[in-house]
Chain A
């Protein structure tokens, strides 16, 4: 079985300050992990993915995430928030050899001017 816990349902930051969105996972086998972003009334866009290569993964729009097996975490960070980052973010896990994704419940990021 696998599960994903996004520790914050809502995060609010000021423009230009760092962003941290937290994700813990549970998986019986070596997982692949993803972060997706969803802007209001839009589909899901892949930000980045971890697939057992480098533990620090760089994605689009300045986001990155670090896979920490000992902590079963895959937190998403960005050094400086931009207004366009306001959206909902989903952490997703899929175990090796599987097709089925397990989504976290999402973290809504608000960026204050």
Chain B
């Protein structure tokens, strides 16, 4: 049981490049989400999904795209990377809402130069 797996762990991009952060979970969780973590800001929600084929925007969605074609996978796409997207990205998943434990991936460190 691998839990939540994120790849890559580290990435350096040039401004304007695109890339996809991968997230996969093997717990059959319906809810998946992406957060970014910036110093002194905590974690902020980018996009989330409550099931295959359903996605919605979070607090900071601009510049990011997501899709949920399967229960297991929830990739995050940076369409045209900007230095402001330099951050640590976390994928999370849970079964059901509210009090159920949320599981986080190990994080992806992204630098845009």
By a beta-carbon cutoff of 8 Å, the part of chain A in contact with chain B is: 4, 9, 32, 34, 36, 41-44, 46, 49, 51-52, 90, 94-101, 103-106
Q: Are A42 and B107 in contact, with the CB atoms below 8 A?
A: yes
Q: Please report the C-alpha to C-alpha distance between residue A9 and residue B90 in the assembled complex, in whole angstroms.
A: 21
The answer for the CA separation of A104 and B42 in the assembled complex, in Å, is 6
Q: Are A98 and B41 in contact (CB under 8 A)?
A: no
Q: A98 to B50: give the CA distance in the assembly, Å.
A: 10
Which chain B residues lie closer than 8 Å to A101 at the CB level?
33, 43, 45, 92, 102
With most chain B CB atoms within 10 A of its CB, the pick from A36, A96, A100, A106 is A100
Any A CB within 8 A of the CB of B105 = yes
Please report the C-alpha to C-alpha distance between residue A106 and residue B42 in the assembled complex, in whole angstroms. Answer: 6
State in angstroms the CA–CA spacing of A82 and B45 once bound together. 32
Pair A43/B107 contact, Cβ less than 8 Å: yes
Q: How far is the CA of A103 from the CA of B94 in the complex (A)?
A: 16
Known: A9-B40, A90-B43. A43 touches B104 (CB 8 A): yes
What is the interface of chain B mostly: helix, strand, loop, or mixed? Answer: strand
- Secondary structure at the A interface, as helix, strand, loop or mixed, is loop
Pairwise interchain contact B48-A99, C-beta atoms closer than 8 A: yes
Q: Which residues of A contact B84 (CB under 8 A)?
A: none
Report which B residues bind A (CB closer than 8 A). 31, 33, 35, 40-45, 48, 50, 58, 90, 92, 94, 97-99, 101-102, 104-107, 109
A36 CA to B106 CA, complexed, in Å: 13
A95 surroundings in chain B (CB, below 8 A): 98
| Contact between B42 and A34, CB atoms less than 8 A apart | no
Are B99 and A51 closer than 8 Å at their CB atoms? yes
| Pairwise interchain contact B101-A42, C-beta atoms closer than 8 A | no
- Is A32 a contact partner of B99 (Cβ separation < 8 A)? yes
Known contacts A90-B43, A99-B97; A44 and B104 CB within 8 A of each other: yes
Instruction: Specify which of A34, A42, A99 is in contact with B31 (CB 8 Å cutoff).
Output: A99
Known: A43-B105, A44-B104. A103 touches B44 (CB 8 A): yes
Residues of chain B within 8 A of A42, CB atoms compared: 106-107
